[in-house]
Chain A
Amino acid sequence: MQSIRMTMTFFKSTNQAVSAKAEAAEFEQLFEGHWERLCSVLYRITGDTHEAQDLALEAFVRLYQHSPANQDNLAGWLYRVATNLGFNALRAHQRRQFYETEALKESMLQDFPANPEEDAARRMENQHVRKILRSMKPRLARLLVLRHSGFTYAELAETEGVRKNSVGTLLARAEKEFERLYLAERSDQDAP
């Protein structure tokens, strides 16, 4: 099968071969079918609408430029690449955390939300969840996010390249790890 890059090149030309049309249609179908869901997954990771959309577009650009040799599971590849981009972005943010916290305080002072206390609590909680995801093993964090974005066991098995019956075990492990880090984060907060 031709690569997606070839597919798109053919797609742009005026004399499209029938097979090229079919392959271009496959890329279009992937975009149509996964754009919103990919954004939603990335939003759960980054907590930032602009960044989520930016990274989702980047994932499609990479699919176009470097589509995998094995094209049997392009959607799985796309989600793996996208979630890696998301977690990389989270790690990059770690370095800027001090500035972010300062910015958060600043925005809380400026925004004058209807319910300032509730809003502040939500934003802090949001930050803690990102911190936990950043600390988790990438594969477990990815599974957790994908599952809670509505992925079925069959889809998770396909994305991760595991048997469907292993998904429950991996999810249980991921949620246990999430809980452990969550409680540790809470106890740090409660410490005087």
Chain B
Amino acid sequence: MHPDEGEIRQFLDEEHTPTRQREIAAHLETCDRCRKISQAVSARIMLAEESLAETSFNPQSTGSARLELNQRLDSAEKENKFMFKKTFARIPRAAWVTLGVIGVLAIALSFPSVRAIATSFLGIFRVERVQVIPVDLENLPQAFGSGESFEKFMANEVQVEEFGEAKEVSTREEAGTAAGIPVRLPGNIEGEPRLRVEPGGRMTFQVNYELARAVLDDIGQHDIELPEGLDGAPIEVVIHPAVMAMYGECRVEEEIKAMEGMDPDESEAPPLSECTTLLQTTSPTISAPPGLDLGQIGEAYLQILGMTPQEAASFAANVDWTTTFVIPIPKYADYQQVLVDGVSGTLVEYRERGTAWYALLWVKDGLLYVLSGPGNGETAQGIAGSLE
């Protein structure tokens, strides 16, 4: 069996086990082809060695460098105190921009109001399945809110076009015609729902590598790697019209508005109304250049959410990023895969101010459904099972 180039490279550095070193040495004695490869590998090592050879360079002593480091740390600390005040006032707008454009992070920021998920997370890929990861989200809003680069990125690079205005309609047929989808409604909830058609929209941007890098630096993620070819890559996200059916005492619009202007000083979100909502829409789509490594973007995204590079790589390896929507949820929420509407879905359950709430997400026949409201998993399953 011929050793490959990597094994030969390792052999030349004597980094194999003694047994494997002997085996490869013996093989090279008899195999012309491998010997030639070995010579080529050696020549490349020499070329790199000579090219990267360090010419006389003695850095300043550790002691004097340590003093300089102390000075930098002191001035950085003073600057931080000043920046803290400055950025605090900016957080609401930055947080809302995040909410509107990066749907995934939006969920993280707005989770206590689960119904807002339905209107804000429809921004990534063509969703065929949903997967959740529990993460510690406490510091995310502050991290993004304090980034000047992030605001610059959003202001300069992203164009958003809305396809019209949201409107209320009277019948399911009217909603279906307006949204271009067959509308299903629960059969086990009494009373007529309020039906609202969300218009959808298109978001386009060309990635500016350096600005994206600066955003990551701003949030302290200096060692995340972004994929080759990301610079200048045109990305288009299309969010299709959606129908929201609301049952009970619903103040969804007010809640969304309240979130838009939410003051970070008031950490508590407005109380949720006793309302059950079902949102349905064609899966959103994202188009990007074929060569772009979505897996690596996914890894970067997972690291932003707090995973180590190793955890992110391991998780990302098992996800098809072109079809899977990975939702971060706070660690205090429970989640599980469940059978719903004949397909696999994700049930998230949590408690807020003593009340149990659920969100149930699934994709069937190219349509994405998000059901949420007060109650537990059984309530959710009962409503989902009665759709007609």
Please say whether chains A and B are actual partners in one complex: yes
Interface centre among B11, B49, B65, B210 (most CB of A within 10 A): B65
CB of B41 within 8 Å of the partner chain: yes
Would you call A69 and B306 a contact (CB within 8 A)? Answer: yes
A161-B310, A182-B47, A182-B51 are contacts. A172–B6 as well, Cβ < 8 Å? yes
Contacts of A149 in B (CB 8 A): 52, 54
- CB contacts (< 8 Å) of B167 on chain A: these are none
Q: Majority SS of interface residues in chain A?
A: helix
Whether B65 lies near A57 (C-beta < 8 A) is yes
Interface contact B52-A139, CB-CB below 8 Å: no
With a cutoff of 8 Å between Cβ atoms, the chain B residues found around residue A85 in the complex are: 222
Task: With both chains docked as a complex, state the minimum distance between the C-beta of A39 and any C-beta of chain B, in angstroms.
Answer: 4
Q: Is B57 an interface residue (CB 8 A)?
A: yes
Query: Which residues of chain B (1-36) have a CB below 8 Å from chain A?
Result: 4-11, 13, 15
The answer to whether B13 touches A40 (Cβ under 8 A) is no
Chain B residues with Cβ below 8 Å from A8 are 73
Asked if residues B309 and A148 are in contact (CB atoms below 8 Å), the reply is: no
A172 and B41 contact, CB distance less than 8 A: yes
Q: Does residue A93 face the partner (Cβ distance < 8 Å to B)? A: no
Q: By the criterion CB–CB under 8 Å, are B47 and A175 in contact?
A: yes
The answer on a CB contact under 8 Å between B225 and A138 is: yes
Is B48 touching A178 in the complex (CB atoms < 8 A)?
yes
Determine the distance from Cα of A132 to Cα of B52 in the docked complex, in whole angstroms: 11
Given A49-B59, A53-B59, A62-B222, answer yes or no on A178-B65 (Cβ-Cβ < 8 Å).
no
Decide if B196 is an interface residue (CB 8 Å cutoff): no
- Of residues 215 through 232 on chain B, the ones whose CB sits less than 8 Å from some CB of chain A are 220, 222-223, 225, 228
Q: How many Å lie between the Cα of A138 and that of B365 in the bound state?
A: 41
Is A56's beta carbon under 8 Å from chain B? yes
Instruction: Check B62 against A168 for contact (C-beta < 8 Å).
Output: no
A66: chain B residues within 8 A (beta carbon)? 220, 222
Shortest distance in angstroms between A86's beta carbon and chain B's nearest beta carbon? 12
Contact A40 B51 (CB under 8 A): no
Residues in A with CB closer than 8 Å to B55 are 122
Contact across chains for A39 and B59 when beta carbons are under 8 A apart? yes
Q: Which of A40, A60, A65, A164 contacts B220 (CB 8 A)?
A: A65
What number of residue pairs across chains A and B have CB atoms under 8 A from each other?
Answer: 136
Instruction: Give A93 to B54 CA distance when docked, in angstroms.
Output: 20
Q: When chains A and B are docked, how far (Å) is the Cα of A68 from the Cα of B309?
A: 11
B-binding residues in A (CB < 8 A) = 8, 31-32, 35-36, 39-40, 43-44, 49, 52-53, 56-57, 60-62, 64-66, 68-70, 77, 80-81, 84-85, 88, 91-92, 122, 125, 129, 132, 137-139, 144-145, 148-149, 153, 161, 164-176, 178-179, 182
A45 and B179 CA atoms in complex are apart in Å by 55
> Please, how many angstroms separate the alpha-carbon atoms of A164 and B7 in the complex?
12
Cα distance A171–B6 in the bound complex, in angstroms: 7
> Roughly how many angstroms separate A173 CA and B48 CA in the complex, as a whole number?
12
Knowing A36-B62, A57-B68, A153-B15 are in contact, say whether A165-B10 is a contact too (CB < 8 A): yes
Known: A36-B59, A148-B52, A166-B6. 17 other contacts (CB 8 A): A8-B73, A31-B65, A36-B62, A40-B57, A49-B59, A53-B59, A68-B223, A70-B308, A132-B51, A145-B52, A153-B13, A168-B10, A169-B7, A172-B41, A174-B48, A175-B48, A178-B47
Cα distance A171–B11 when bound, in Å? Answer: 12
A145 to B65, CA, bound (A): 23
Q: How far is the CA of A164 from the CA of B13 in the complex (A)?
A: 13
Question: Which B-chain residue is minimally distant from A165 (CB atoms)?
Answer: B10
A residues in contact with B68, CB < 8 Å: 57
